[in-house]
Amino acid sequence: MQPANRASNFVHSHTVNLFIRLLIRHRLLILLSFFASALYAEVQPVYPNLSQSTGIAPAYFGPNALPVPDMLDGRTDSTLSVELAVDGFFGFEKDQTADIFARIHIPLWTPRVNLSVWMPVIEWYRMTSERQRTCRLQDTVQLSGHEAGDVYVSTDIQILKARCYTPDIAFRAAFKTASGGSFDKARYFDNPGYWFDLAVGKSLYFGRTKRVSGTVQADTFLELRLSGSLGFLCWQTDNGRQNDALMYGLQLFAKSQYLGLRATWGGYAGWEKHGDRPMTVKVQVSGYAKGFEPYLAYQYGIKDYPFHQIRVGLAYHIGILKPRKNKQ
């Protein structure tokens, strides 16, 4: 029996030793597997809840966070245009904002392509406690201050120039930077955005010869123009999400030799349906004299843009493109 017991003990000892060697040999693999399992259990992917509103919308931020963009009327500009203005925003909840606004339009070697850059250079604001609660800000947030704004850049392209029975058609691709700050004070989104839109416009010219044409004639007494636009606007919100919106607008423009009147209704409609559907109406009166264009504008927020806006500005137009020579 002793040889049998020795054989049994040998087999048992050999099995234990083999198991220990395998355990030691593969201890690194076991440790890595353990840490990988722990890491996966601790860092789970977070998916946004699309049923909840982010609140990053124009109704809950300052008037310069993402205002309704000025619409095109189907045309581009053949002149270099430099514009400077001051704005006063008077909120429905007694908050106030003032800013300095600057814009430039540059024709890119042809009157059919413009580069436009604009921004509220700096704004000064004063909020009320009521507005603070609407914007869901903490009680410790300072209710007054100043902030630089977002920079906007667009390329405007005239696809089709008006003929006797066809309208002007222009396409615009634009984006906004995240240069504006004070997200914690509900002034700017601090997120980028972009949009594309198409504008169609047609003018009627009334004068001594009563014309219908795509360009203003020397004997024109009055221009009457109707324009419309549609587009797509998108801005980043939070946690990798973005808000997509349909842009729209209608505009009526009347111009004589020295005066112009422009009335615009427009807005955009986001998919969250919670403060992200601003709609405004805007009226602007302009004067024209030797390249200068002083103007006065008023804008009223019909929906999701709780502000009255008054703008006083001056634009100067400079002809920088060489006129084309007529072929003989």
At 256, is the pLDDT very low, low, confident or very high (cuts 50, 70, 90)? Answer: very high
Least confident window among 13-27, 31-45, 237-251, 254-268: 31-45
At 55, is the pLDDT very low, low, confident or very high (cuts 50, 70, 90)? Answer: confident
* Contact criterion met (CB below 8 Å) for 269 and 285: no
The string of pLDDT tens digits covering residues 210-230 is 445 555 555 568 999 999 999
* Res 221: pLDDT: 81
Name the DSSP class of 211.
-
What average pLDDT is seen over the chain? 85
185 by Cβ neighbours in 10 Å (0-12 / 13-18 / 19+) ranks as buried
* Contact criterion met (CB below 8 Å) for 70 and 170: no
Token output for 215: 């360009």
- pTM over 0.85? The answer is no
Beta bridge partner(s), residue 145: 125
* Res 103: pLDDT: 98
Instruction: Give the up-direction half-sphere exposure of residue 56: CA atoms within 13 A in the CB hemisphere.
Output: 20
The string of pLDDT tens digits covering residues 280-322 is 999 999 999 999 999 999 999 999 999 999 999 999 999 888 7
Mean pLDDT value of segment 138-160: 92
Q: What end-to-end distance do the CA atoms of the chain give, in Å?
A: 125
Instruction: Cite the DSSP H helix spans in the chain.
Output: 2-25, 27-42, 129-134
At 30, is the pLDDT very low, low, confident or very high (cuts 50, 70, 90)? Answer: low
Instruction: Give the up-direction half-sphere exposure of residue 128: CA atoms within 13 A in the CB hemisphere.
Output: 10
* Res 43: pLDDT: 43
CA dist 271 and 9 (Å) reads 76
Smallest CA-to-CA distance from 229 within 48, 88, 64, 73 is with 73
Smallest CA-to-CA distance from 81 within 263, 266, 249, 295 is with 295
* Ramachandran region, residue 291 (left: φ > 0; alpha: ψ -120 to 50; beta: rest): left
Token output for 313: 């500005």
Q: Which residues of 56-66 are buried (b: 16+ CB within 10 A; e: fewer)?
A: bbbbbbbbbbb
C-alpha angle with apex 266: 263 to 272, nearest 5 degrees?
Answer: 165
Mean pLDDT value of segment 94-121: 95
Mean pLDDT value of segment 67-71: 96
Q: What is the DSSP string of 36-98?
A: HHHHHHHS------TTS----SGGGS-TTSSPPPPPP-S---SSEEEEEEEEEEEETTS-EEE
CA dist 119 and 190 (Å) reads 14
Token output for 36: 């990988």
Least confident window among 21-25, 156-160, 228-232: 21-25
